[in-house]
């Protein structure tokens, strides 16, 4: 099946506009452009993917220093509607959501409401599992996937919970679960651990996770169309999830409030540019400092070595890897109908955001090709 691509054009340099501003045609205004070589090669790469790889829609944005240098949408939001993907189109970000939770926790650490090395049960005294070792789990271990929590088996996307009680109900529902390892001893990727943290945030901040992250991160960073609560996103900006080969629109959208911290951020590459710039500048966006530099650095400091031979570590939610001698800070995501990749190259002050609305998108290959273009 051949899908005709449609891309959003880029405007000339506008030195005083934020990276998420756009005109009535959703054309991006940037402060600094990609080089002609970079832009040409990126265009050719994504045109080819839409033309030959059968990807319904894909959006990509790249930041350098404090500017967006490239941002385009290719393909369609839905193979049924044929509406074009634009840089402002909203996608389900899947696990790219997790560093937002880690940042929320660090904000609460700064305000004295959370201690990273305090036990989970100090904040949720009613929390129980069918394994007494759960009493030793700390907040830090939950953020770096060494808590021993198992992973989620069924997200129940087809029967989403929408109310504010979803987080506590989820935390209380794990009484029959057992740990897969002793806390602090092994790396086991766990969406479950991040989802339980939503209840910790609610108990310590007095606000739901979704409300807290919107007030203290999304809005200050001018990520105005982004939300962890999918029902409040603008219908006109949404994309549709695609599954199967050839891809078809999924009747189910991947949203369930009980899995908000691990999975449910809905965002665009334009909004995610602000997140990239913030994380490349020690937690600062323009004149807004969402974390102190020391707190921000802790997020990206290795806290557990996953694979010493391949130089793979985890900080607090962020994965720290090396690509062709370059240090990367990254997180990928994949859920029903979507794939996402968010990568920072701190030494180059580069940020890369790629999102696709098909869960069979070869994201690793695409990501590496983009890096090869940028790193020449």
pLDDT tens digits, 4-37: 222 222 222 222 223 333 332 233 444 466 788 8
Q: What average pLDDT does this structure show over 180-202?
A: 98
Contact 275, 221 (CB under 8 A): yes
Separation of CA 190 from chain center: 15
**Residue of higher predicted confidence among 150 and 19:** 150
Could you name the CATH architecture of 99-210? Answer: 3-Layer(aba) Sandwich (3.40)
For 295-326, the pLDDT digits (tens) are: 999 999 999 999 999 999 999 999 999 999 99
Reported confidence tier of residue 65, pLDDT bands at 50, 70, 90 = very high
Look at residue 369 and tell me whether its pLDDT is greater than 90: yes
CB atoms within 10 A of CB 152: 18
Enumerate residues 6+ apart whose C-beta is below 8 A from 231: 162, 255
Mean pLDDT, residues 59-70: 96
Assess whether pLDDT exceeds 80 at residue 42. yes
Q: What percent of the chain has pLDDT over 90?
A: 89
Residue spans of the domains in the chain: they are: 99-210
Overall pTM surpassing 0.95 (yes/no): no
Q: If you average pLDDT over residues 173-179, what whole number do you get?
A: 98
What angle do helix axes 191-205 and 98-110 make, rounded to 10 degrees? 30
Residue 134's alpha-carbon distances to 94, 142, 166, 208, 243, in angstroms, are: 26, 11, 21, 24, 37
Average model confidence (pLDDT) across the chain: 91
Alpha-carbon distance of 218 to 196, in angstroms, equals 21
């Amino acid at each position: 099946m051949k899908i005709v691509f449609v891309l959003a054009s880029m405007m000339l340099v506008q030195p005083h506009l934020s990276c998420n501003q756009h005109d009535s045609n959703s054309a991006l205004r940037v402060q600094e452009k990609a080089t002609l070589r970079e832009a040409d090669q990126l265009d050719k790469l994504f045109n080819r993917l839409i033309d030959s790889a059968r990807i319904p829609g894909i959006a990509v944005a790249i930041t350098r220093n404090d500017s967006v240098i490239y941002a385009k949408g290719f393909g369609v939001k839905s193979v049924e509607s044929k509406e074009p993907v634009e840089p402002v189109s909203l996608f389900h970000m899947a696990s790219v959501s997790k560093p937002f939770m880690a940042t929320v926790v660090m904000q609460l650490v700064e305000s004295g409401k959370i201690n990273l090395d305090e036990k989970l049960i100090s904040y949720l005294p009613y929390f129980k599992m069918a394994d007494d070792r759960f009493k030793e789990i700390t907040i830090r271990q939950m953020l770096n996937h060494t808590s021993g929590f198992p992973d989620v088996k069924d997200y129940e996307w087809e029967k989403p919970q929408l109310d504010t009680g979803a987080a506590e109900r989820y935390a209380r529902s794990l009484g029959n679960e057992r740990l897969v390892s002793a806390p602090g001893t092994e790396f086991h990727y766990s969406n479950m651990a991040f989802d339980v943290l939503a209840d910790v945030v609610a108990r310590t901040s007095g606000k739901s996770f979704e409300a807290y992250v919107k007030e203290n991160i999304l809005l200050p960073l001018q990520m105005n169309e982004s939300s962890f609560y999918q029902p409040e996103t603008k219908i006109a900006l949404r994309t549709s999830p695609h599954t199967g080969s050839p891809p078809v629109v999924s009747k189910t959208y991947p949203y369930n409030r009980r899995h908000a911290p691990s999975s449910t951020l809905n965002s665009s590459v334009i909004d995610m540019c602000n997140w990239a710039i913030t994380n490349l500048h020690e937690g600062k966006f323009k004149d807004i400092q969402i974390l102190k530099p020391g707190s921000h650095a802790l997020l990206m400091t290795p806290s557990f070595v996953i694979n010493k031979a391949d130089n793979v570590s985890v900080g607090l939610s962020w994965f720290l890897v090396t690509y062709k001698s370059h240090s990367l800070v990254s997180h990928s995501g994949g859920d029903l109908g979507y794939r996402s990749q968010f990568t920072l190259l701190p030494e180059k002050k580069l940020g890369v955001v790629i999102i696709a609305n098909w869960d069979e998108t070869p994201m690793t290959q695409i990501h590496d090709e983009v890096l090869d273009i940028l790193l020449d």
